[in-house]
């Protein structure tokens, strides 16, 4: 199947905060999260603490994050940026 994510954005002071969930189905091992931010200063998800260093990685590029997770893992994410 596919990797899907949800996103909600709020403003705190002069920064935007985005957060949501991600879902891997049918042994999918990650995908892209479109945060709704133009740039990301901080990103965290519960996938980054659940497995070894070879999986569950997050790569930021502009306002998107690509997650590499273990198969079928679901979780939450949080980002701060502009």
* Tens-place pLDDT, residues 24-75: 887 888 899 999 999 999 998 887 555 655 677 888 999 999 988 888 888 8
pTM, two decimals, is 0.82
Quick one: pLDDT band at residue 78, thresholds 50, 70, 90? very high
Of 21, 80, 61, the closest CA to residue 45 belongs to: 21
Confidence of residue 3 (pLDDT cuts 50, 70, 90): confident
> Whole domain around residue 39: which residue ranges?
3-81
- Among candidates 19, 30, 34, 22, which has minimal Cα distance to 64? 34
* Domain at 63, CATH number: 2.60.40
The domain tally of the chain equals 1
């Amino acid at each position: 199947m596919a990797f899907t994510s949800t996103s909600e954005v709020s403003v705190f002071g002069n920064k935007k905060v985005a957060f949501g969930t991600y879902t891997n189905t049918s042994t999918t091992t990650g995908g892209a999260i479109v945060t709704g931010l133009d740039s990301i200063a901080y990103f965290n998800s519960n996938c980054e603490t659940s497995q070894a260093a070879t999986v569950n990685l997050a790569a930021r590029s502009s306002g998107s994050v690509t997650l590499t997770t273990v198969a079928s893992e679901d979780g939450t994410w949080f980002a701060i940026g502009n």
